[in-house]
Amino acid sequence: MSQLSHLECNRRRIISLLVSISLLLGCIPLAVLSNSQQAGSVTIAVSSLNVRDGAGQTHKVIAQVKGQENYPIVQMKDNWIQILLPNGQKGWVASWHVEINQPATPAAYVSPTIETLNIRAGPSTSFPVVGQMAKSESFPRLDAEGDWIKIRLKDGSIGWTAGWLTKEVPSPALIQPAPNPSSQAQATVKSATLNVRSGPGTHESAVGQVYAGDSLTILEQQGDWIRIQKDNLQGWVASWLVTMGSTPSPPSPSVESEKPTIRILNPGTNLRSGPGTSFDVVKIAKEGENYAVLGVEGDWFRIQTAPNQVGYVAGWIVSAQGVANVERKGNESLLKGRTILVDPGHGGSDSGAIGPHLGTLEKVVNLQVSHLLSRKLKAAGATVIMTREDDRKVSLQERVDSSIRRQVDAFISIHHNTSENYRVNGVITYFYSNGDDRELANSIQKEVVKRTGSTDLNARYGNYFVLRENPQLAVLCELGFLTNYQEEVIMKTKEFQEQAAEGVFQGIVKYFAQKK
Ligand SMILES: [Zn+2]
């Protein structure tokens, strides 16, 4: 009897527990939904991930989540994201182990970018044409499949059209008279190159690029993204890479694209009264500024710093347009008769690191810099061998073998780095042995840092196969971190690659100069 009532009691407890669980399950998704529309959600990208009670590795683990699971984002701090767990608890996960899903955007309208655009019955050109839309018309966008978007037609029926031939437009209900363009908010581009995207997020496709110092008209803002217009280019850019609200900056001293110009690559670049570092600084130039080139003196450019003012800037720290980069004197003979092996890391099925923000493949940027370096070495009289000249897989042993077979004077491996901490950035040159390897690494490290303006993480000992197993003089350059957003953006640019290659080149030259 007492047994029975005990069982009965237990059963009741279980039922009430089940009821509260179903209540929880029933109402939390509602809370989740409203939240996720605010800030988006994350998908766990590793098989299992610790959830902590604070934004950092040192905080206590309070739960674990599994790969492919989705959680709404509550807030973000540094590289950590606070998520909402199904039991209503909140906890922090490392952003580099998750994929961030953008919040669903409210119903958008689209207009064709061409005069007339076919509307089809399905999402490809193999479906029959069911109608046409004119450039002046706009339709609500309902869904997307690949590059195709689903729209609702005037009669309420559904159709599909080529997404790349449409642009997003404000809902007709929201259209207001266009403000006077001169009173529109402006933004100025901060980074060397900035992708303009079809939507507000780094996963959206790039539709064009704008450059440091460009002035953009702000059309609308959504979270950290702004929709901008620059001449005929319209799209979304990351607001943290522009200076907002500023009036358009005064035009740079030189604007005509036909005339030779140089572009300042590093913030706080000294412009001097003469062609050498012993001359006074007459102006400090900002990154992205352009100046007309009046002449070249040694390896310095004579430039127009103001309407009636002339100054000089060191040729190796700027990028030249419409004029050859400065000539270098005295270095040619140093590399004559030397064989340098340039080793672009990874290749083929081995992509190396992948930039988490823009999807940059390490093997691609490694090869781009390696080609630039190889060209500079050849121009300076060296015999250059590359372990790969295109996108193919080469084993580590093969790389070392060609170094030994050709008895090269130096083996230079080119890589780009990654870190779990997205804030880590900078250059590291690795050596395996003390002595010559270390000296070469120090020399390259110094020159790369000087030219790129990147953080100096110093030359370091590195136990890499291509260094350890290599009897020849060998170093491995890590030119920056693909996991750092700013560096990933900049490392894709021709300017950065040019300066990085120039730094490695100068480091090699200076090393051999002191060995002479
Ligand atoms: Zn690598």
Residue 2 confidence class, pLDDT cut points 50, 70, 90: very low
407-420 per-position pLDDT tens digit: 999 999 999 999 99
- 222 Cα to the center of ligand 1, angstroms: 36
Domain with residues 182-244, CATH architecture: Roll (2.30)
- 97 Cα to the center of ligand 1, angstroms: 20
- 110 Cα to the center of ligand 1, angstroms: 42
- 418 Cα to the center of ligand 1, angstroms: 9
**Total Cβ atoms within 10 A of residue 301:** 27
CA distances for 272 relative to 116, 217, 437, angstroms: 56, 34, 36
Percent above pLDDT 70 for the chain: 81
- 151 Cα to the center of ligand 1, angstroms: 44
- 477 Cα to the center of ligand 1, angstroms: 9
Written as six digits, the tokens of 239 are 């607001």
The contacts of residue 431 (CB under 8 Å, 6+ apart) are 437, 438, 440, 441, 459, 460, 461, 462, 467, 474, 475
- 487 Cα to the center of ligand 1, angstroms: 15
265-281 per-position pLDDT tens digit: 777 788 999 988 788 88
DSSP output for 329-362: -S-HHHHTT-EEEEEE--BTTB---B-TTT--BH
CA–CA gap between residue 413 and residue 344 (Å, rounded)? 6
CATH of domain 2-101: 2.30.30.40
Name the residue among 161, 451, 181 with its Cα closest to residue 316: 451
Written as six digits, the tokens of 490 are 């900049």
Q: What is the pTM of this model?
A: 0.43
**Total Cβ atoms within 10 A of residue 217:** 17
- 414 Cα to the center of ligand 1, angstroms: 8
- 415 Cα to the center of ligand 1, angstroms: 4
Top mean-pLDDT range of 12-26, 291-305, 426-440: 426-440
- 193 Cα to the center of ligand 1, angstroms: 24
Residue 118 has pLDDT above 90, yes or no: no
- 417 Cα to the center of ligand 1, angstroms: 6
**Residue spans in the chain of domains classed CATH 2.30.30.40:** 2-101, 108-174, 182-244, 261-321
Pick the CATH number of 261-321 from 2.40.70.10, 3.40.630.30, 3.40.50.720, 2.30.30.40: 2.30.30.40
- pLDDT (0 to 100) of residue 433: 94
- In terms of pLDDT, which residue wins out, 63 or 25? 63
CA–CA gap between residue 145 and residue 125 (Å, rounded)? 13
CA–CA gap between residue 116 and residue 482 (Å, rounded)? 42
- 386 Cα to the center of ligand 1, angstroms: 16
- 351 Cα to the center of ligand 1, angstroms: 9
- 355 Cα to the center of ligand 1, angstroms: 12
- 513 Cα to the center of ligand 1, angstroms: 29
Percent above pLDDT 90 for the chain: 34
Residue 212 has pLDDT above 80, yes or no: no
- 130 Cα to the center of ligand 1, angstroms: 51
Using DSSP bridges, classify how beta strands 460-461 and 428-431 pair: parallel, antiparallel or unpaired: parallel
- pLDDT (0 to 100) of residue 352: 95
Region 7-24: what's the mean pLDDT?
Answer: 45
Question: Cα Rg for the chain, rounded, in angstroms?
Answer: 29
Residue 164 has pLDDT above 90, yes or no: no
- 354 Cα to the center of ligand 1, angstroms: 10
- pLDDT (0 to 100) of residue 254: 34
* Amino acid at position 278, single letter: S
- 456 Cα to the center of ligand 1, angstroms: 18
Residue 126 confidence class, pLDDT cut points 50, 70, 90: confident
Residue 197 has pLDDT above 90, yes or no: no
- 361 Cα to the center of ligand 1, angstroms: 10
Whether 377 contacts 414, CB under 8 Å: no
CA–CA gap between residue 325 and residue 327 (Å, rounded)? 7
- 416 Cα to the center of ligand 1, angstroms: 6
Written as six digits, the tokens of 423 are 């804030």
Whether 287 contacts 264, CB under 8 Å: yes
3-state secondary structure of 189: strand
Query: 3-state secondary structure string, 59-111?
Result: CCEEEEEECCCEEEEEEEECCEEEEECCCCCEEEEEHHHEEEECCCCCCEEEE
- 229 Cα to the center of ligand 1, angstroms: 37
User: Maximum Cα–Cα distance for the chain, whole Å?
Assistant: 107
CATH of domain 108-174: 2.30.30.40
Residue 179 has pLDDT above 50, yes or no: no
Residue 476 confidence class, pLDDT cut points 50, 70, 90: very high
- 177 Cα to the center of ligand 1, angstroms: 53
- pLDDT (0 to 100) of residue 136: 82
- In terms of pLDDT, which residue wins out, 308 or 27? 308
- 92 Cα to the center of ligand 1, angstroms: 30
- 452 Cα to the center of ligand 1, angstroms: 19
Residue 103 has pLDDT above 60, yes or no: no
Whether 32 contacts 84, CB under 8 Å: yes
- pLDDT (0 to 100) of residue 328: 52
Residue 181 has pLDDT above 80, yes or no: no
Residue 253 has pLDDT above 60, yes or no: no
Name the residue among 266, 269, 285 with its Cα closest to residue 277: 269
Q: Hey, what's the torsion of the CAs at 182, 186, 192, 197, to 10 degrees?
A: -100
CATH superfamily to which 332-515 belongs:
Zn-dependent exopeptidases (3.40.630.40)
Whether 230 contacts 194, CB under 8 Å: no
- 476 Cα to the center of ligand 1, angstroms: 9
Listed range (198-212, 250-264, 463-477) with the worst mean pLDDT? 250-264
- 167 Cα to the center of ligand 1, angstroms: 38
Whether 108 contacts 93, CB under 8 Å: no
Burial class (CB in 10 A: 0-12, 13-18, 19+), 255: exposed
Name the residue among 315, 325, 255 with its Cα closest to residue 291: 255
Written as six digits, the tokens of 475 are 């170093």
Q: What residues pack around ion ligand 1 (CB closer than 5 A)? A: 345, 352, 415
- 347 Cα to the center of ligand 1, angstroms: 10
- pLDDT (0 to 100) of residue 323: 61
| Mean per-residue pLDDT of the chain | 80
**Residue spans in the chain of domains classed CATH 3.40.630.40:** 332-515
Residue 479 has pLDDT above 70, yes or no: yes
Residue 89 has pLDDT above 50, yes or no: yes
Written as six digits, the tokens of 63 are 């739960």
- 15 Cα to the center of ligand 1, angstroms: 57
Region 120-131: what's the mean pLDDT?
Answer: 84
